[in-house]
Amino acid sequence: MTSSVDLDLWLKVLEKIERGLPRGQFITWFKDTTVLGREEKTVIIGLPLPMFLNWHLEHYRGLTLEALKETDPTIEQVVYQVDVGLKDDLARTLKLLEHFPEKKRGRKLPNKGEIKLAEGLVSKILNSRYTLENFVVGPNNRLAHAACCAVASQPGGKYNPLFLYGGVGLGKTHLLQGTGNAILRNQPGATVLYTTTEDFTNQVIEAIQHQKMEQFRRRYRELDVMIIDDVQFLANKDRTQEELFHTFNTLIEERKQIIISSDRPPRELTILQDRLVSRFERGMIADLSQPDYETRHAILSEKAKEYGLLLDEKVLNYIAQYATKSVRQLEGILMQAVAQYELEHFVPTVKSIADIMQKLVADDPALAGQVGFEPPAKHAVSFQDVLEGVSSYFSVSVQDMLGQSRVREVLIPRHIAMYMGKKFLRMSFVRLGETFSNRDHTTVMHAVGKIENKIQEDAQLLRELRTIEREVGLAA
């Protein structure tokens, strides 16, 4: 057995592996790895930590072996060996961040890359990260996803055109590209064009300028699949709309597939030409809405896995609970956590995630409303929230608390609610008295005083209060 580290081989292999993995995963799981040696057809890969072993065996063995074989066809097998000495050992490992700088392959692929399908026919490169398989299905997107699957298995079939609509960051582009990827996988020879409305408009303008409109039309009509993202941006672009209309007609007549996305349904695209809108309406229309808690949770788990981040269940729950509006936002939080993990080996906690969310909101206050961050301390708590919190903690109805009953089970919760109204919401004794069936303000004063005294000596009560405060969102 030769036991010399082979960094040249490893660098070549890593270059291949890197192309097939999200950057976060690549950096996290291939840092401080190396080729420890070779025994005939077997390569020994060194890993810096025991916890890497299972992860590599489960997730990266196939990919690694493939890359090894591609680099050196005599290799047939890979085995792993943990060597804790590899950590930060620059003589035996590669500095990944240097060899694979960020810009070379952004974590969020910016989709800048283009591919020329033919003379005068340019498509954006489909991002291989977007697939129909890794799209998490929930009640908010089930129909859209099913329609995409149907189109992928039978392009130009029943659902033509396929029109997807929904708000920002809910997965339109993911589904569009995932469908394109799937079609290309099924029919590698198909001509699939994916374009944004902006790019398409630029193409039209260019063709007009160079008087190549005829050629432009001919080219587009040779497509098998045309995917066009964000058609709401066609507003006020009459000439582009006209070209698109004619292209659509030809393609549909020839049973070629068209897939469109927009931020709103066709009938609300009032700024577009009617005939184009009615074209859109003639196929299948499906919407994407905001994911519910369970779907957000599932998406997060999926993404965390993709980025190679092991997240505590509590942390997942926390993000899923408070980032409610857009999937992109969920991802944004996750990316920050991944960065912390990569740079500082900091494993995310509920507290660190809450800090990230607070910071995102602080950096851009508009976000708070738009994107649905509701970290507990941020949103204004009403007295109704207090009543409901106390009510559910003590299993006493709000009505009973506000009412006249003097049974013991109701008294303590009632007094606590009064105390919290006073202490946290700064309600006046008079106002509180009115709220509680028009009691006299001295009664309220008395009750609040009682609780104040009690918590001086009753640790149990203090703990209960803290719990309620947290549930209600009065404390972090």
| Spatial separation of the C-alpha atoms in residues 312 and 334, rounded to whole Å | 12
Nearest approach, Cβ of residue 136 and ligand ADP (Å): 4
Nearest approach, Cβ of residue 295 and ligand ADP (Å): 7
Nearest approach, Cβ of residue 77 and ligand ADP (Å): 35
**β-pairing verdict for 284-288 and 162-166:** parallel
For residue 270, report the phi and psi dihedrals to the nearest 5 degrees.
-65, -20
User: By C-beta, is 80 or 307 nearer to ligand ADP?
Assistant: 307
Give bridge partners of residue 116 from the DSSP assignment.
122
User: By C-beta, is 172 or 325 nearer to ligand ADP?
Assistant: 172
Q: Which of 125, 123, 139, 107 is nearest to 224 (CA)?
A: 123
In the shown chain, the binding pattern of residues 298 to 317 toward ligand ADP, with x for contact by CB under 6 A and - for none, equals -x--x---------------
The answer to whether residue 173 forms part of the interface with Mg ion (CB under 5 A) is yes
340 binds, among ligand ADP, Mg ion, none (CB under 5 to 8 A by kind): none
Place of tokens 């902006």: 198
Residues 280, 228: contact at Cβ < 8 Å?
no
| Spatial separation of the C-alpha atoms in residues 342 and 309, rounded to whole Å | 9
What three-state secondary structure class fits 259?
Answer: strand
In the shown chain, the binding pattern of residues 93 to 132 toward ligand ADP, with x for contact by CB under 6 A and - for none, equals ----------------------------------------
In the shown chain, the binding pattern of residues 337 to 356 toward Mg ion, with x for contact by CB under 5 A and - for none, equals --------------------
The answer to whether residue 141 forms part of the interface with ligand ADP (CB under 6 A) is yes
304 binds, among Mg ion, ligand ADP, none (CB under 5 to 8 A by kind): none
Q: Which of 252, 327, 341 is nearest to 295 (CA)?
A: 327
Degrees (nearest 5) of the Cα angle 400, 405, 409? 70
User: By C-beta, is 24 or 166 nearer to ligand ADP?
Assistant: 166
Nearest approach, Cβ of residue 174 and ligand ADP (Å): 3
Q: Which of 474, 298, 476 is nearest to 389 (CA)?
A: 474
DSSP 273-339: -HHHHHHHHTSEEEEE----HHHHHHHHHHHHHHTT----HHHHHHHHHHB-S-HHHHHHHHHHHHH
| Spatial separation of the C-alpha atoms in residues 338 and 308, rounded to whole Å | 8
Site for ligand ADP in 317-336 (CB under 6 A): 327-328, 331
Nearest approach, Cβ of residue 48 and Mg ion (Å): 38
| Spatial separation of the C-alpha atoms in residues 449 and 443, rounded to whole Å | 10
User: By C-beta, is 56 or 303 nearer to ligand ADP?
Assistant: 303
The answer to whether residue 177 forms part of the interface with Mg ion (CB under 5 A) is no
- Options 35-43, 45-53, 98-106, 166-174: segment touching Mg ion (CB under 5 A): 166-174
Residue nearest to Mg ion (CB): 173
Nearest approach, Cβ of residue 416 and ligand ADP (Å): 42
Nearest approach, Cβ of residue 328 and Mg ion (Å): 9
C-beta atoms surrounding 418 within 10 Å: 28
Nearest approach, Cβ of residue 214 and ligand ADP (Å): 33
The answer to whether residue 195 forms part of the interface with Mg ion (CB under 5 A) is no
| Spatial separation of the C-alpha atoms in residues 296 and 325, rounded to whole Å | 9
Residue 129 corresponds to which tokens in the numbers above?
A: 């990260």
Sheet hosting strand 77-82, strand order edge to edge = 34-39, 42-47, 77-82
- Options 35-43, 62-70, 172-180, 430-438: segment touching Mg ion (CB under 5 A): 172-180
User: By C-beta, is 192 or 323 nearer to ligand ADP?
Assistant: 323
In the shown chain, the binding pattern of residues 14 to 53 toward ligand ADP, with x for contact by CB under 6 A and - for none, equals ----------------------------------------
Residue 289: exposure state from Cβ atoms within 10 A (0-12, 13-18, ≥19): middle
The answer to whether residue 136 forms part of the interface with ligand ADP (CB under 6 A) is yes
141 binds, among Mg ion, ligand ADP, none (CB under 5 to 8 A by kind): ligand ADP
In the shown chain, the binding pattern of residues 153 to 192 toward ligand ADP, with x for contact by CB under 6 A and - for none, equals -------------x-xxxxxxx------------------
Distances (CA, A) of 62 to 20, 214, 249, 272, 376: 12, 48, 45, 49, 44
Q: Which of 300, 347, 341 is nearest to 31 (CA)?
A: 341
The answer to whether residue 248 forms part of the interface with ligand ADP (CB under 6 A) is no
Nearest approach, Cβ of residue 108 and Mg ion (Å): 12
Q: Which positions touch ligand ADP (CB under 6 A)?
A: 135-136, 141, 166, 168-174, 299, 302, 327-328, 331
Q: Which positions touch Mg ion (CB under 5 A)?
A: 172-173
